[in-house]
Every structure is written in structure tokens, then in C-alpha cells.
Amino acid sequence: MRYIFSVNLFLVLFLLSCSKTANEEAYSTTEAIQVSNAPLSESKDEKITATIPQKIIKSASLRFESNDLEATYKQIQAAVKESHATIQSDSEGKNDYSLYRNIMIHVPSQNFDVFLQSVSKGVSYFDQKDISSEDVTAQYIDLDSRFKTKRKLEERYLEILKKANKISEILEIEQQISLIREEIEAKQGQLRYLESRVSESRISIEIYKPIAEKEGVKISYGSKIWTAIKSGFFSLSEFLISIISIWPFIIIICVLAYFIRKRFKRKKQ
């Protein structure tokens, strides 16, 4: 009798343990999704921002006169080669007063000051010299922290995916992972953009040479007079076009003026 009782007790305990295990597994797949959305606590290492070096974006804009555009351009090319920089764009042209050349250069940030010194040699004065620096360290730390948080959240969802049994749960988890990966890629792109702006400084240079007057004042004043004549002609053309565009109103005004004048004449008679 005792043997039968012990066997029955063993079966009851075994069934209770199985039901408990099943409940725990169900919790791990359904409730874990909600737990995964809980905010992730930062470690002590992540709170230390001193490990991340200062992130500074440098840029400059220069404009100055040159007596020899070709010689100045060769000087800029030498500075580019010496500073391991690259010329991103180069355009030249002419207007009524000068020949000019616009150059956009990307310089490694560590060579920024050296490049400016090399380009500035021989320049008596600058028409424009703007040098700016922007500290984006806080922005970089914030992006980096968000990126790492999303990485941890992705790892947590992958662990949950391994324990999921139902197809609906698997699909829901995979959808969440897809959304998280999109956010991770966006944060990666922003971090890379900041890194590129910090590592390479942008310098815009405009050099120009005034056009010499061959016959003194005559050509200069003649050019100004011709420009004034053309400007007056275009203004007159625009005025005539504007009058033509309102011709219906002009006709209505003329008709009204005719009848008003006729009525006044009748009153006088």
C-alpha cells in the first residue's frame, strides 16, 4: 500500500513540475518581448565620455587678389600636395571687372593650419578670410550612445527569437529586429558623416585678377555706358510687356473715360 502511495505522489510531483516548466517557457516567449522594450542601463564605461576625443569640424573661406592667377594656382597645388589634401572642385571665369578662379579643397584636419599658412604666403591682404570651428563632441557622443543601445536591443531580440515557438511570435520579433536594424543603419550613417567632417576640413578659395584697361578711361567709361544702354533697353522692354499684359483694363478705362466725357458735354449744353 505504501508503495502505491509513493508512486502516486511521485506522479503528482512530476506533473506539477512539467506544468511549471511549460508556464516558464510560455513566459519566456510572450513576456520577453515586453521586457526587451525596457530601457537598457548604461555601464560605467559608457558613462565616461573622456575616452572619446574632442570632435571639431573646421572650415575656412578665403578671397584675395592675385597679379598672376597661374602662379598662385601652382602655389595652391603645392600646398595641396604638401598637406595631403584633395581638390574637390575647380572653376574659373571672367566678368566685366576681373578674371577669377574658385577652388574647393578638402584638407586633413591635422594639416589645416599648415595648409592655410602655405596658401597665405605672398598675400598682402584678404578681401575675405573666414575661419570657423564647430564642436560636435556632444552630438557624436549622443549618436554613439544611441547606436550602442540599439545594438544591445538587437542582441536581446535575437536571443528571444531563439526561444520563440509560435509562428506569430517569430514574425513579430523579426519585424521588431528589422525596424531596429534600420535605426542602427541610420545612426551608423550619421556617425560616419560626422567622422568625415571631423577628419577632413573644407576650405573654399577664390582668387581674382582685375582686368587691365588698355586705353585708359575711355574703354572703362564706354563699357559702363554700353552696360547702361543695355540695362535701359531691357527696362523699357519689360515696361512695354507689362502694359501689353493689362490691355483689357486699358480698354475698359478708355471706354469709361469716353462716356464720362460725353455725359459732361451734354450737361454743359
Q: pLDDT at position 53, please?
A: 84
Asked if pLDDT for residue 222 goes beyond 70, the answer is no
Asked if pLDDT for residue 18 goes beyond 70, the answer is no
Query: At which residue does the C-alpha cell 511570435 appear?
Result: 169
Of 189-198, 236-245, 254-263, which one has max mean pLDDT?
189-198
pLDDT tier for residue 250 given thresholds of 50, 70 and 90: confident
Q: pLDDT at position 33, please?
A: 53
Q: pLDDT at position 100, please?
A: 93
User: Burial, 148: exposed, middle or buried (Cβ in 10 Å; 0-12, 13-18, 19+)?
Assistant: middle
C-alpha cell recorded at residue 31: 513576456
Question: Residue 171's beta-bridge partner residues?
Answer: none
Q: pLDDT at position 25, please?
A: 45
pLDDT tier for residue 226 given thresholds of 50, 70 and 90: low
Asked if pLDDT for residue 252 goes beyond 90, the answer is no
Cβ neighbors of 167 (< 8 A, separation 6 or more) are none
pLDDT tier for residue 243 given thresholds of 50, 70 and 90: confident
Q: pLDDT at position 117, please?
A: 92
Q: Could you tell me which of 45, 40, 29 has the C-alpha nearest to residue 152?
A: 40
Q: pLDDT at position 216, please?
A: 45
Q: Indicate the SS3 state at residue 20.
A: helix
User: For residues 268 and 102, which has the higher predicted lDDT (pLDDT)?
Assistant: 102
5-19, 54-68, 76-90, 184-198: least confident range = 5-19
The one-letter code for the residue type at 51 is: T
Share of the chain above pLDDT 90, in %: 49
Q: pLDDT at position 212, please?
A: 66
